[in-house]
Amino acid sequence: MPRVASSGVRSSRLGSLRRATYPQLLHHSRGHDPDLSLLDIATDPHTDGYAWEGTLQLADRFGLTVYDAAYLELARRRALPLATLDEALRAAGTALGMPLLGDGA
């Protein structure tokens, strides 16, 4: 739930979600799933297919959480720069020869 709330705050700051929409988004607190359709989220249809192979291998290889490994796998597969300040994730990206964004890049 905190990730959904964090996404709501970020979307509000970027102007893609009105603060008044939070109660609908966070309907989960009353026993329902959050309405993620209110957020400007793009999904990757191939991530699930990589979860049990590539993502777990990256998590094991670099000692990352599965969440961080999924982020690394997605950026790597799509040839995108890795945007993170997390030291372990940056080290993994560097080891894989990926371009990095953020402080120290």
| β-strands 82-83, 100-101 pairing | parallel
Residue 67 binned pLDDT confidence (cut-offs 50, 70, 90): confident
8 exposure class (CB count in 10 Å sphere: 0-12, 13-18, 19+): buried
40-51 mean pLDDT: 74
Is 57 a residue whose pLDDT tops 70? Answer: yes
Is 7 a residue whose pLDDT tops 70? Answer: no
| Cα 31 → chain centroid | 24
Whole-structure pTM over 0.75, yes or no? no
* DSSP character string of 14-25: HTSS-GGGHHHH
Is 59 a residue whose pLDDT tops 90? Answer: yes
Q: In angstroms, rounded to a whole number, what is the distance separating the alpha carbons of residues 66 and 55?
A: 7
Residue 1: what pLDDT? 47
81-105 mean pLDDT: 89
Residue with tokens 């993620």: 36
Sign of the alpha-carbon torsion through 49, 52, 55, 61: negative
